[in-house]
Each structure stands twice: as structure tokens, then as C-alpha cells.
Amino acid sequence: MSPEKLVMMANQIGAFFASQGPDGAKAVADHIKSFWDPRMRAGIFDHLEKGGEGLSPIVVTALERLRLKS
């Protein structure tokens, strides 16, 4: 899956959970961990490591949380 598609999907998840305030990033992280297959997660982490262009702040926070738990 292309980085652009992964960014779009991650940002849609982030927009959905943004209304949860500070808990929104945790919800995004939980969703990505639970529902994205390992290849998708690897792709979005690779994109983040290359600068994360286009990722919303809530998604960046969520991915950083996930990376720390791995």
C-alpha cells in the first residue's frame, strides 16, 4: 500500500478520534494496533521515520506511542 494511502487512512482515523481530546491519540494508536496488518503498520512507521509528511499531529503522537510500546 502506498504511503499516500496509509497517510490518508491514518488521518481519517485521527479526525474521527480527535473529538476525544487528550485520549484521542491513545484511541488512534489502539485502532492502528488492532486493525492494521503488520505490513500497513511497517509502512506508516517507515513514512514517519522519513519525516511523516502529511500526517496530522494526533496521528504522529499515536504512532510515537505505538513505537515506544514495540
The answer to whether the beta carbons of residues 55 and 15 sit under 8 Å apart is no
| Helix/strand/coil for 42 | helix
Q: What is the pLDDT of residue 70?
A: 62
Domains of the chain: total: 1
Neighbours of 47 (CB within 10 A): 20
pLDDT in tens, 3-43: 999 999 999 999 999 999 889 999 999 999 999 999 999 99
Predicted confidence (pLDDT) at residue 67 exceeds the cutoff of 70: yes
pTM: 0.93
Q: Residue 12 sits in which domain range? A: 3-69
Neighbours of 57 (CB within 10 A): 11
Strand locations in the chain, DSSP E? none
